[in-house]
A and B are shown apart, each in its own frame.
Chain A
Amino acid sequence: MQNNGYLRIKEIAAMTLLLVGIKLSDSTPALLAQKAQNGFWLIPLLSFICIFPGFLIMLYLLKKYQDKNLIELMEAITGKWIGKGIGIVIFLFALLTITFDSRNYIEQIGLLYFPKSPTIVLFFIFIGIVFFGAKKGIEVIGETSWLFLTVIKISASLVILLSLGEVVMQRVFPIFGSGITNILTEGVKKASLFAELFFLLIAYKVTKASSMFSKGIVIASFITLFEITLFYFVYITVFDYNSIAKIAFPFHDLTQFINLGNFFTNIETLFMVFWLFAAFLKFIIFIYLATWIFGEIFAIRNFEPLLLPFSFLVIMIGQLPFNSIINELILREMLLTIMSPFFIILPYVLWGIAWGKGELK
């Protein structure tokens, strides 16, 4: 791993925005809307409130134990073997998230733009590009994320702007959707919507100064929260609660629906390009982080050659014969529900142990 200190606040923020923020464009809204109906746009807010204090504790711990990344920190606090154990759990979470997510993205690409191409071919192309991208290393990934962030966000804003004409504010009412208790429980259960923030902690030492990392990731988390909430709000006001639960890919339905004047009526491919950039970058970052976590656990300093087997693994697991509905609504939901308590509790436990050992003076 190279570290020339090229990464700064904006690169870290860009990576966070791409990794977490792209949730607004996959089928997460459909997943959330199943139970919460038109209150689903509040769920990210609640999830964020659940998970963010813990995340700040993690940042605090990392700051206290200087020169450590996520895995090293856990090893330092809980002892080598327990630390590695938790590390493996985190790694498995990351790998499964990548797999389910990538399957989901492939379905989107396949269903909407390449209906005749077999999934396996799309998978190989997609993950192949992701693999070669990830090979370039974290600094290039960070720089590329930052350079692409502008155009990606411009196109996202354009989507919002063009859909404003279709927004009917009153559709957010009744404000609590399927009921306030429902929303609250869903909010807690889906707290792992922001689990990627924890995976990013492995890169804690990559910036010039650690404070840059913390600043970047915290700023980006808030922006992401805003973005996700904004987009979910737009979905609910454009599609209404009955439709949103039925639409698997609301982002693409939205881009298909909007048009740029009378002349350019089908402009979804335009947005698809930028969405693809974001998707590629998300998985490049993600697969790199997962491999990094793995490398840290097993003390493999030069972990980049491991990218190839992991990419292949993702394709192979992604190929398991579930249809997209099972993948999205059952498996992914299960994963999110399992991950949530883990990531909510983990920071407090670590903090408690560290405090108990008296290492926080």
Chain B
Amino acid sequence: MVRFLKKSSESPSSIEKKKVYNSLEKNIQEMKYLFSSNRNKDFSMRSLKIKFNNKEGCLFYYSSIVDGSKIDMHVIKPLLENEGNTVMNVVSIENIEETNEFSKVIQYMNSGKVILFIEEDASTYAMDVADFQHRSIFKSENEPTVKGPQDAFTESLNTNLSLIRKQLHNNQLINEGIQIGKRSINEVNMIYIKDVVNNEILEQVREKLNNISVDSVRNVELLEQYIEERPYSVIPTVLYTERPDKATSYLEDGFIVLLMDSSSACLIVPVTFWSFFHSPEDRYLRFLYGNFTRAIRLLCFYLTLMISASYVAISNFHSEMIPPDLLLAITASRERVPFPLIFEVLIMEIAFELIREAGLRIPNPLGPTIGIVGALILGQAAVEANIISPIIVIIAALSGLSSFALADLNINFMVRLMRFVFILAAGAFGMLALTGVFLLFFMYAASVKSFGVPFFSPMSPHFLSPEDTVFRKPVKKELFRPGYLYPKDIQKKSKS
């Protein structure tokens, strides 16, 4: 074990210092060794006689991640035929970099560049001919809107960037790359508007990214967990979205967006509660309609978090509160049920989660039918078998259904988990425990900070902001950027 650890930590450091040799022969050997050319099938090399300086040269690349015709047209052909004095002037590739370290060479190879070694030259040339495979742009499936742009991020950094730049024509929009990972060096792209974003927050994010010391961070989904402050917390502190328009609107307000080549989504930091609560469609809809949606969503938030717990608390501890007709109806339906009420609620809630999880994992063709059948059987048959009372089905359906209105996955999980905590609290000591636990949860949320931003700002603590919290103002009346980010330019729109 110790030996193993030692060995693995040794190998990358030795390469780091290695410089490119002057002799082509040695370089070729080194490359073959580094990339295990005898086993590695897609590792390709091509030797050639360079015309302009009349020397031997050699090209290395991964055939799987480069564009073959591009190499042919813009690298090999010019090298063989064209005249000139430097490599830069000969090849017709838009992006050439020169280096003399093998560690860089490895990195360039992995990111889909073709490497050119030349006899009696102690530097190499890396030319960008990458052609990583990715999906084309699809409709946003997990965060659909009726009104609003339909495109979603896809697993390609350049495409994603173009989706953002398309909406934001601004020379201050910066795309800063930061390399992370030890073994697989991946690039995280930090996107922000330079003359808006707050430098301290930017520095904080940058530092966080630089401090990640792991072998590899494959995508933003994993990155999210590396940069969040409280991994055990139930409350998310990073926003995850696949919608370019959402990302852009946050960029405009001075937030920072993190993109990676391998994910069809981005991360947005810092966040507040409201970023999870809002949906981009709220802003696309007209003032009244948008706020109506918000009101419904707030209701859903309450229902999914509290309705089961309230039901348990009221019927187990405060039955006097239920109007007599309803009370008698519930009592009658419960008379033949063998379980305590809280068990009934838990059974149904868990059953709903089961259906949900199973429905998610089930192969597509079977999906919808099984889901519905499962729900029907679970609901109706369980009632008829007197295992649960019909009212519980309504409660569970209501709380389950409302949870879908909270589109953001993170907040959705938070609510679904907290729901069980609240049910248990309500079952233990009725409204006393329920209000107490809710208050504590609320205070905990208020104390959470995402990159220094309090979770409930700008509502409390107060900041100058567009006042877009539970409800929003008409777009024309939003004068400021969110002050909790301390943006360089807080004025969004002049008053007149």
CB of B461 within 8 A of CB of A269, answer no
Stretch at the interface among A7-15, A193-201, A236-244, A328-336: A7-15
Q: Which of B321, B439, B460 has the most CB of A within 10 A?
A: B460
User: Per-residue CB proximity of A140-160 to B under 8 Å, as 1/0?
Assistant: 111110111000000000000
In angstroms, Cα B116 to Cα A141, docked, is 64
Residue contact A269 to B321, C-beta cutoff 8 Å: yes
- Of the listed residues B314, B443, B456, B459, the one surrounded by the most CB atoms of chain A closer than 10 A to its CB is B443
- Given the contacts A132-B440, A144-B442, A280-B436, A10 and B462 also touching, CB distance less than 8 Å: yes
Identify 15 residue pairs between A and B in the complex whose beta-carbon atoms are under 8 Å apart, listed by A's number.
Answer: A6-B454, A125-B432, A143-B454, A143-B456, A144-B460, A147-B446, A147-B456, A266-B321, A268-B321, A269-B314, A269-B320, A269-B321, A276-B431, A277-B435, A280-B436
- In the complex, B429 has a CB within 8 A of chain A: yes
Q: A-B pairs with CB below 8 Å: how many? A: 95
Chain A interface, DSSP helix/strand/loop, else mixed: helix
Q: Does B317 contact A (CB under 8 A)?
A: yes
| B-chain residues with CB within 8 Å of residue A264 when the two chains form the complex | 323
- Say yes or no: B436 contacts A114, CB within 8 Å: no
Is the Cβ of A272 less than 8 Å from the Cβ of B431? yes
Determine whether B318 belongs to the interface, using a CB cutoff of 8 Å to chain A.
yes
Question: Are A276 and B435 touching (Cβ within 8 A)?
Answer: yes
* Interface pairs A-B: 5 shortest CB-CB: A6-B461, A129-B436, A143-B460, A269-B321, A276-B435
Find chain A residues with CB under 8 A from B435 CB. Answer: 273, 276-277, 280
Whether B439 and A143, one on each chain, are in contact in the complex, defined by CB atoms closer than 8 angstroms, is no
B427 interface residue (CB < 8 Å to A): no
Chain B residue nearest to A261 (CB atoms) is B323
Instruction: Say whether A184 faces chain B, with CB atoms less than 8 Å apart.
Output: no
B433 at the interface (CB under 8 A from A): yes
Kindly identify, within residues 420 to 465 of chain B, every residue whose CB is under 8 Å from any CB belonging to chain A: 429-433, 435-437, 439-440, 442-444, 446-447, 454, 456-457, 459-462
Q: Give the number of chain A interface residues (Cβ < 8 Å).
A: 41
Chain A residue nearest to B435 (CB atoms) is: A276
Question: How far, in whole Å, are A341 and B318 apart by their CA atoms in the complex?
Answer: 43
Collect the chain A residues with CB atoms within 8 Å of residue B429's CB.
114, 117, 125
Whether B436 contacts A125 by the Cβ 8 Å rule is: yes
**Interface residues, chain A, with chain B CB atoms under 8 Å away:** 4, 6-8, 10-11, 109, 113-114, 117, 122, 125-126, 129, 132-133, 136-137, 139-144, 146-148, 263-270, 272-273, 276-277, 280-281
Measured CA separation A277–B438 after assembly (Å)? 9
Complex Cα distance, B318 from A268, in Å, reads 10
B432 adjacent to A126 (CB under 8 Å): yes
With A269-B318, A272-B431, A273-B435 given, is the CB distance from A263 to B323 under 8 Å? yes
Residues of B within 8 A of A109 (CB): 432
Chain B contacts for A11, CB-based, 8 A:
460-461
A contact residues around B439 at 8 Å (CB): 129, 133, 144, 148, 277, 280-281
Specify the chain B residue showing the minimal Cβ separation from A134: B443
Chain B nearest CB, measured from A144 CB (Å): 5
Interface centre among A10, A126, A266 (most CB of B within 10 A): A266
Task: Name B's interface SS.
Answer: helix
Beta-carbon contact of B432 and A276 below 8 Å: yes
The answer, among B317, B324, B440, for a CB contact under 8 Å with A133, is: B440
Shortest beta-carbon distance, A9 to chain B, in Å? Answer: 9
**Residues of chain B with a CB closer than 8 A to A136's CB:** 443-444, 446-447
Write out the residue numbers on chain B whose beta carbons fall within 8 Å of the beta carbon of A266. 320-321
- In the assembled complex, the Cα of A146 lies from the Cα of B457 at a distance in Å of 12
Kindly provide the distance from the CB of A13 to the nearest chain B CB, expressed in whole angstroms. Answer: 12
Please report the C-alpha to C-alpha distance between residue A119 and residue B64 in the assembled complex, in whole angstroms.
73
Residues of B within 8 A of A125 (CB): 429, 432-433, 436
Verify A8–B462 contact, CB threshold 8 A.
yes
Inside 8 A of A141's CB, which chain B residues have their CB?
443
User: Which residues from B are CB-within-8-Å of A137?
Assistant: 447
Residues A270 and B432 in contact, CB atoms below 8 Å apart: no
In angstroms, Cα B442 to Cα A281, docked, is 12
> Which A residues are CB-close (under 8 A) to B459?
147
Write the chain A residue with the least CB distance to B434. A273
Q: Which of B323-348 contact A (CB under 8 A)?
A: 323-324
Q: Which of A146, A267, A268 gathers the greatest number of chain B CB atoms within 10 Å?
A: A146
Interface residues of B in 307-321 (CB under 8 A from A): 314, 317-318, 320-321
A109, A125, A143 interface centre (most CB from chain B within 10 Å): A143
